[in-house]
A and B are shown apart, each in its own frame.
Chain A
Amino acid sequence: MGPEILRDLTFDIPHRSFQFLTGPSGAGKSTLLRLLFLSLQPTRGLVRTFDRDIATIPRDELPMLRRRIGIVFQDFRLLDHLTTFENVALPLRVRGKEESSYRADVLELLKWVGLGERINVLPPVLSGGEKQRAAIARALIDQPELLLADEPTGNVDPPMARRLLSLFLELNRLGTAVVIATHDLSLMDQVEARRMILSQGRLDIYE
């Protein structure tokens, strides 16, 4: 087993809260997000998500819990054979919803993230920024209770970053707890929000 990446952390993500998670590269931001997304278990200590100890959640209950979490992967993880529309609608499709029931919502969200003209385009044709926006739209489409975003503005220009930030804030106003992992100081300066700074495996929180 490798070295401990995170240790002695105690924090909570309150309902409807908004926070940035920051720190130098390799500090463990992505690992912390993975723990929150239930894709890793801690080697020691306790992580509770939706009032459940994640180490004891049975495998077959994970999909239902993950449906309450939206995640923006740093490497986007879009499916190359599906269009932007289909990628964004994927979380709804796997929940068994009919396309007619969500088409308008997906189109509206795509317009909001500036991809209204790119709905039938496949990811290999999209630019890095467009892929990132599509990945963000996919994470937001079902209005999750918790949104985890790993460097969500890393590939977009400042105006688009501001636009995406306002989208996250709007989602937060509607009741979603948001955790944004970022290096972007200018992005963090735009919002009065809790800052969680990871450094050498330790966490300092500035309310």
Chain B
Amino acid sequence: MNETTERNAQDRAPQKRPEMQVRPTAPIVPPANVSGNALMCVIAIMAFLACLTYGAVSMVRATAASWQSQISREITIQIKPDDKLDMEAALRDARDLALTFSGTKDGQIVDRAATARLLEPWLGEGLDLDELPVPRLVIITIDERNPPDFAAMRQALTETIPQAFLDDHRTWVNRLVAMAETTAWIGTAVLVLVFTAMVLTVIFATRGALSGNRHIIEVLHFVGAEAGFVASEFQKHFLKISLKGSFAGGALAALVFAIAGYWQSRSLATPESDQATALFGTFSVGLSGYLGIAATMLIIALLTTLTARFTVMRTIFEIDRIRSDPARTDGVPSS
């Protein structure tokens, strides 16, 4: 009986409601919205294009530099046939004479078989060199950093073997150097254009994403937040967005180069690979290329963050300017 009374008394006692739990504090700037996602996509695309351009331009520059160095590494002595000339002896003399000059490294006589192979595309197989007055060649490898005195070598050769002609490839090298430099300049100009487009796109996309948050800036400003505090909240938010976007774009560009390089190494000596190599060089961007991609990502992140900071500071400045210009009422609570 007593137990029943106690239980009834407990049932009638008011139940104490559990204290409501406060959810974990949300960031002051909303973490995800449509404009934020769009900005991330824009940043990823621009980072991808900028990194791709950077890698391609560095590849073209490397290829252009290699054209220049490979050609200027060699000179050629050409000896025209003459009835009074012992060609083989003249070839040896020419090589030996050339090698006496400092700045030469190695001399190689293009033998009869190799000469025939050189002419094969024009004159066909089974060529008998004795039947034709075909000049013979000596290839001299030179130290490109310390080249020999070509004028003195040319004079010495002409005095010893009048039929010899020294070709230092100067005209060809000059043209190629000019072409390589032009290619590199065009590449650099494209890079500058793409980076300029990237900078402008990132700045305007960031400002666009921020314009939807003006009311947050106003409220924070009106509840007593200092401009630096508001700016740092938005900076943090936009740094996260830009790091995600630029990492995605940069990593994708790096992946494209890695895959292209892998494809090229796997398909050596195939017509497709040879064609691509002749046009673009090797698809290897090297350590400097990957460092450039990383630098591009950091530049984008920095750019977005600074744009966010300046835009927030400018918005606060605008809000305060309304204060001193009563003709303007935008952003002021309506009466």
Within 8 A of B (CB), among A146-193: 150
The reply to whether B335 and A95 form a contact with Cβ atoms under 8 Å apart is no
Within 8 A of B (CB), among A118-147: 119-120, 138
Q: Is A195 close to B, CB under 8 A?
A: no
Within 8 A of A (CB), among B2-27: 20-23, 25-26
Give every chain A residue within 8 A of B20 (Cβ-Cβ).
Answer: 107, 116-117, 119-120
Give every chain A residue within 8 A of B26 (Cβ-Cβ).
Answer: 81-83, 86
Q: Which of B220, B222, B320 is close to A71, meaning CB atoms less than 8 Å apart?
A: B222
Q: Which of B22, B317, B323, B324 is close to A85, meaning CB atoms less than 8 Å apart?
A: B22
Q: Is A17 close to B, CB under 8 A?
A: no
Query: A34-B333, A90-B223 known; A1 and B25 CB under 8 Å?
Result: no
Give every chain B residue within 8 A of A40 (Cβ-Cβ).
Answer: 322-323, 326, 332
The reply to whether A41 and B326 form a contact with Cβ atoms under 8 Å apart is yes
Q: Which of A43, A62, A85, A94 is close to B223, meaning CB atoms less than 8 Å apart?
A: A94
Q: Which of B215, B320, B333 is close to A30, meaning CB atoms less than 8 Å apart?
A: B333
Q: Mark B188-231, 1 if CB is under 8 A from A, else 0.
A: 00000000000000000000000000011011111111110100
A13 to B25 CA separation, bound complex (whole angstroms)? 37
Q: Is A109 close to B, CB under 8 A?
A: no
A99 to B23 CA separation, bound complex (whole angstroms)? 11
Among B25, B223, B229, the most chain A Cβ lie within 10 Å of the Cβ of B223
Q: Is A203 close to B, CB under 8 A?
A: no
Q: Mark B235-262, 1 if CB is under 8 A from A, else 0.
A: 0000000000000000000000000000
Give every chain A residue within 8 A of B220 (Cβ-Cβ).
Answer: 90, 94
Among B22, B220, B320, B322, the most chain A Cβ lie within 10 Å of the Cβ of B22
Query: A34-B333, A71-B222, A94-B220 known; A119 and B22 CB under 8 Å?
Result: yes
Among B21, B224, B320, B332, the most chain A Cβ lie within 10 Å of the Cβ of B224
- Chain B nearest CB, measured from A47 CB (Å): 12
Give every chain B residue within 8 A of A16 (Cβ-Cβ).
Answer: none
The reply to whether B219 and A63 form a contact with Cβ atoms under 8 Å apart is no
A35 to B324 CA separation, bound complex (whole angstroms)? 11
Q: Is A2 close to B, CB under 8 A?
A: yes
The reply to whether B218 and A1 form a contact with Cβ atoms under 8 Å apart is no
Chain B contact patch, size range:
20 to 34
The reply to whether A39 and B335 form a contact with Cβ atoms under 8 Å apart is no
B21 closest partner in A (C-beta): A120
The reply to whether A38 and B323 form a contact with Cβ atoms under 8 Å apart is yes
Query: A75-B333, A117-B20, A120-B22 known; A39 and B226 CB under 8 Å?
Result: no
Q: Is A73 close to B, CB under 8 A?
A: yes
Give every chain A residue within 8 A of B326 (Cβ-Cβ).
Answer: 1, 40-43
Q: Is B30 close to A, CB under 8 A?
A: yes
A39 closest partner in B (C-beta): B323
Q: Is A93 close to B, CB under 8 A?
A: yes
A63 to B223 CA separation, bound complex (whole angstroms)? 8
Q: Is B327 close to A, CB under 8 A?
A: yes
A90 closest partner in B (C-beta): B223
Q: Is B127 close to A, CB under 8 A?
A: no
Q: Is B28 close to A, CB under 8 A?
A: yes
The reply to whether A26 and B335 form a contact with Cβ atoms under 8 Å apart is yes
- Chain B nearest CB, measured from A38 CB (Å): 7
Q: Is B334 close to A, CB under 8 A?
A: yes
A120 closest partner in B (C-beta): B23
Give every chain B residue within 8 A of A42 (Cβ-Cβ).
Answer: 326
The reply to whether B323 and A31 form a contact with Cβ atoms under 8 Å apart is no
Give every chain A residue within 8 A of B23 (Cβ-Cβ).
Answer: 83, 85, 120
The reply to whether A41 and B335 form a contact with Cβ atoms under 8 Å apart is no
Give every chain B residue within 8 A of A38 (Cβ-Cβ).
Answer: 323
The reply to whether A90 and B22 form a contact with Cβ atoms under 8 Å apart is no
Give every chain A residue within 8 A of B317 (Cβ-Cβ).
Answer: 59
The reply to whether A91 and B25 form a contact with Cβ atoms under 8 Å apart is no
The reply to whether A63 and B335 form a contact with Cβ atoms under 8 Å apart is no
Give every chain B residue within 8 A of A117 (Cβ-Cβ).
Answer: 20
- Chain A nearest CB, measured from B328 CB (Å): 10
10 contacts between A and B (CB under 8 A): A30-B335, A31-B335, A41-B323, A71-B222, A74-B333, A79-B215, A79-B219, A90-B28, A90-B223, A94-B225
A-to-B contact residues, CB < 8 Å: 1-2, 26, 28-31, 34, 37-43, 55, 59-60, 62-64, 66-67, 71, 73-75, 77-79, 81-83, 85-86, 90-91, 93-96, 99, 103, 107, 116-117, 119-120, 138, 150
Known interface pairs A30-B333, A63-B227, A99-B25; 8 further A-B residue pairs with C-beta atoms within 8 A, sorted by A's residue number: A26-B335, A34-B332, A41-B326, A42-B326, A63-B224, A74-B334, A82-B26, A120-B20
